[in-house]
Amino acid sequence: MNFYSLNKQAPKVSFKDAVIKGIAPDKGLYFPESIEPLPASFFEGIEDLSHHEIAFNAIHQFVSDDIPNGKLKEILADVLDFDFPIVQLEENVATLELFHGPTMAFKDVGARFMANCLGYFSEGTTTEVTVLVATSGDTGGAVANGFLGVEGVKVVILYPSGKVSDIQERQLTTLAQNISALEVEGTFDDCQNMVKTAFLDEKLLRAMQLTSANSINVARWLPQLFYFLFAYKAAKSQGKEIVFAVPSGNFGNICAGLVAQKLGMPVKHFVAATNVNDTVPEFMKTREYLPKPSTPTISNAMDVGDPSNFIRIRHLFHDDFEALSKTLSSYTFTDSETKEAMKAIYRNSNYIADPHGAVGYLGLKKYQESHPNTYGIFLETAHPVKFLAVVEETIAEKLAIPQQIQQVMGKEKKSIKIATYEELKEFLLDS
Ligand SMILES: *Cc1c(COP(=O)(O)O)cnc(C)c1O
């Protein structure tokens, strides 16, 4: 399958080239030329399919011949070697736990899939690829873990100094090998702007093959649609209309859910829940898209003022606002509402939600006020232990530390401090 640039000023490319380039030369996001619905029999018989089979059927049309079927199956088996359980909390309210991977955030699947694809594409070539990525928290750890030791690929991660949690920071600064962590004096937006500037820098682009591992990369974005299919498989027997509530920052995850719907997955509605970074909830109210600087919150992986994947969502609906608003609602919540939700979930269901999941829960409950008879699934995008301080303080309990996290807690942080784009450029050219 070919992918075109949403800016329409660049040639179409194969899956392979879309993954290697990350973003089109006209700075547009790549988008698949077609999304062919899966046969009705796929959804009718989904209970009998394994996660690996579901994933292969769903992703195959996008990858097409760029990766042979046998290799693609191998990659999927490697990527999906952990569970995606659904936990029912209340009548008609369940959570889909996406945090059982190596870095305990949902980004593990996309990051591992992309790392495997890039590793496969660079076999037998001599040009090294440099993956440049900005993180507001979880992307960095997932990308570092996914790409660790992949031959022919170097990874450079930019993160805002003092604005990620201690565990998040350790996950991205303690691996070494082919992974470098740059600690930026500034905000996540500053990190993202430096990355964007690098992708426009002709001198840099001539000197190295740069790609991005943010969810703009199709190999990070598309595999996220698996979650929704896995959840559908598990929730189908409820016999109710299904609603997904997705805690959203860059809107890659929810956009992948909407692709699953285009593939034919029967689902009634999607709720994009955000923290106070409310650019999309405002858009859904006013029809005006007004990006703004991001505001720090306790759900820091969603502190995004200009969500890069929202343009893909608009495109999926042919920029038809009416059609989009029939499928998508979007609500915004403050940190104090989020903490109240964490307390309520703990009190009522004896379940510990992380701040991101709690925002998803709030979005679901708000939608269900007017649609009570739906079966709602909110996505738990990170393990609560990744936000240890705020979770322990909010629910007044100590958390047990899982083994994946204990492993990084004792390791020494290694980062390089930078403050300007020039310093980033120097680092890239010298390394
Ligand atoms: C990245 C992230 C999100 C936001 O996902 P998007 O695809 O950027 O909308 C939500 N929760 C957690 C824990 C994350 O790491």
**One domain for residues 291 and 168:** no
**One domain for residues 93 and 131:** no
**One domain for residues 132 and 199:** yes
> What are residue 402's phi and psi, to 5 degrees?
-65, 160
DSSP 92-159: TEEEEE---STTSBTHHHHHHHHHHHHHHHHTT--PPEEEEEE-SSHHHHHHHHHHTT-TTEEEEEEE
The CA distance from 418 to 385, in Å, is: 29
**One domain for residues 418 and 361:** no
Q: What is the mean pLDDT of residues 30-56?
A: 97
More confident residue, 152 or 124: 152
Is the distance from the beta carbon of residue 103 to the nearest atom of ligand 1 less than 6 Å? no
**One domain for residues 214 and 309:** no
Å from CA of 97 to ligand 1 middle:
13
Largest CA distance in the chain: 59
* 128 located within any domain: yes
* 75 located within any domain: no
* 10 located within any domain: yes
What was the pLDDT predicted at 17? 95
> What's the mean per-residue pLDDT of the chain?
95
- Residues, the chain: 431
Residues β-bridged to residue 133: 157
Residues β-bridged to residue 382: 105
Nearest residue by C-alpha to atom 2 in ligand 1: 301
CA 16 to chain centre: 20
**One domain for residues 24 and 159:** yes
**One domain for residues 417 and 335:** no
pLDDT 10s digits, 225-256: 999 999 999 999 999 999 999 999 999 999 99
Nearest residue by C-alpha to atom 15 in ligand 1: 138
Per-residue confidence band for 324, with pLDDT thresholds at 50, 70 and 90: very high
The CA distance from 248 to 304, in Å, is: 9
Å from CA of 239 to ligand 1 middle:
29
CA dihedral 58, 64, 68, 69 (to 10 degrees): 30
Q: Minimum mean pLDDT among 9-13, 270-274, 397-401, 409-413: which range? A: 409-413
Per-residue confidence band for 199, with pLDDT thresholds at 50, 70 and 90: confident
Å from CA of 381 to ligand 1 middle:
7
pLDDT 10s digits, 277-295: 999 999 999 999 999 988 9
Nearest residue by C-alpha to atom 11 in ligand 1: 381
**One domain for residues 90 and 139:** no
pLDDT 10s digits, 173-184: 998 899 999 999
Is the distance from the beta carbon of residue 252 to the nearest atom of ligand 1 less than 6 Å? yes
pLDDT at 408 over 90: no
**One domain for residues 136 and 44:** yes
pLDDT at 392 over 90: yes
Q: What is the mean pLDDT of residues 314-343?
A: 98
Range of the domain at 124: 2-70+107-219+412-430
Is the distance from the beta carbon of residue 302 to the nearest atom of ligand 1 less than 6 Å? yes
Q: Which 3 state secondary structure label does DSSP give 284?
A: helix
CATH number of residue 389's parent domain? 3.40.50.1100
What was the pLDDT predicted at 97? 98
Per-residue confidence band for 165, with pLDDT thresholds at 50, 70 and 90: confident
Q: Which residues contact 64 (CB under 8 A, 6 or more apart)?
A: 1, 14, 15
Question: What is the number of the ligand 1 atom nearest to the C-alpha of 138?
Answer: 15
The CA distance from 268 to 329, in Å, is: 11
Is the distance from the beta carbon of residue 360 to the nearest atom of ligand 1 less than 6 Å? no
pLDDT at 166 over 90: no
* 115 located within any domain: yes
* 76 located within any domain: no
pTM: 0.95
In the DSSP assignment, the letter for residue 372 is T
What was the pLDDT predicted at 214? 83
Is the distance from the beta carbon of residue 215 to the nearest atom of ligand 1 less than 6 Å? yes
Q: What is the mean pLDDT of residues 6-31?
A: 94
Question: What is the number of the ligand 1 atom nearest to the C-alpha of 142?
Answer: 15
**One domain for residues 61 and 89:** no
Å from CA of 44 to ligand 1 middle:
30
What was the pLDDT predicted at 345? 98
Å from CA of 222 to ligand 1 middle:
14
* 168 located within any domain: yes
Q: What is the mean pLDDT of residues 308-324?
A: 97
**One domain for residues 398 and 416:** no
Is the distance from the beta carbon of residue 251 to the nearest atom of ligand 1 less than 6 Å? yes
The CA distance from 279 to 12, in Å, is: 30
**One domain for residues 214 and 226:** no
Q: What is the mean pLDDT of residues 408-419?
A: 92
Q: Domain count of the chain?
A: 2
What was the pLDDT predicted at 403? 86
Q: What is the mean pLDDT of residues 388-403?
A: 94
